[in-house]
Amino acid sequence: MNNIPAVQIAPPQIARLRAQRRLYSSAKNLLALQVVLSAPFAVAWSVAGIFFPTTKAYAASWGIAVTLLDTFVLTPRQKSLKAKAAKIQEAFDCDVLSLEWRSISVGSRPDPEDVVKWSARKKLSPEDEKDLTGWYPKAVGVLPISLARIVCQRANCWWDAELRRRYAAGAVAVVSAIFGISAVAGIIGHFPLDQWVLAGIVPLLPVSILGIRQYKDQREAAERLDALRGHAERLWREALGGAQEDRLMQQSRELQDELFDHRRRNPLIFDSIYAKLRNRQEEQMNRAAEELVEEARKQLHLDRP
């Protein structure tokens, strides 16, 4: 038996989850600003530049300006918010999963003032608040902590990877559609290639850079998570095979280091997409955890609660 189900719903842990959720949401708001500046405005400038040649210089200038803003302001701020959220999530995981804090890879613990500040920000929806109380599957409560910890870490990897694969496919579809609109406009207007490139393509640089970056980053993140999940599953086999507690603790701590690094630099996913997929994926995650718990019961002859 372990205390994961009880510890994860304690007020200090809920405050941490609420703070990291709001930090990530703030970073996603910046991403939304990038999308608005890159996509709708880019398409408008592109079409205007094709049909109104006098605006093509303004269209090109817009594309360059948004690219610079993205590179030097919006993206660095996103990284800062994500790093702070990842550190708060790490504090939650260390307490809930009974892991030591690894200063050499994570740095100092998050300031309590930051947790209080971000936890007290804009109120979450009732559904989001409910989501915070079931962060890890409750079924793991019947397992020894060394096994329960592995199940939770595996659940982290599977959940995130699944979201990112779906998001990456959507990013490609959006960018392709935007370039398709520009190409159709150029064909309809019978514009020379050089005019189409300057007026129709250059304004699309921000959205193309953003879309390609999103696709590449999301796919790479999913692949990293798949590798980490594979490590968790190998560790699970070792645990069921009778591996020593000290080794399981060491391996879980190393896996947690990788999870922290992933969270610190992971590409963002909009809350609306997360919410749309949450219920179905949560059900799948809980079922997988229940299957692992049952496997451990049978192989290790654990008593039922």
DSSP string, 161-214: HHHHHHHHHHHHHHHHHHHHHHHHHHHHHT--HHHHIIIIIGGGHHHHHHHHHH
| pLDDT on residue 156 | 92
Instruction: Kindly indicate the confidence band of residue 187, based on its pLDDT and cuts at 50, 70 and 90.
Output: low
Q: Name the average pLDDT for the chain.
A: 86
Task: Output the pLDDT for position 37.
Answer: 80
pLDDT of res. 258: 95
| Selected residue with higher pLDDT from 92 and 54 | 92
For position 182, what pLDDT does the model report? 62
Q: How many helices (H) and strands (E) does the chain have?
A: 13, 0
Q: What is the pLDDT of residues 5-53, one digit of tens each?
A: 999 999 999 999 999 999 999 999 998 888 788 766 766 766 676 667 6
**Burial label, 193 (beta-carbon count in 10 A; 0-12, 13-18, 19+):** exposed
Give the pLDDT score at 132.
92
Q: Are 115 and 16 in contact (CB under 8 A)?
A: yes
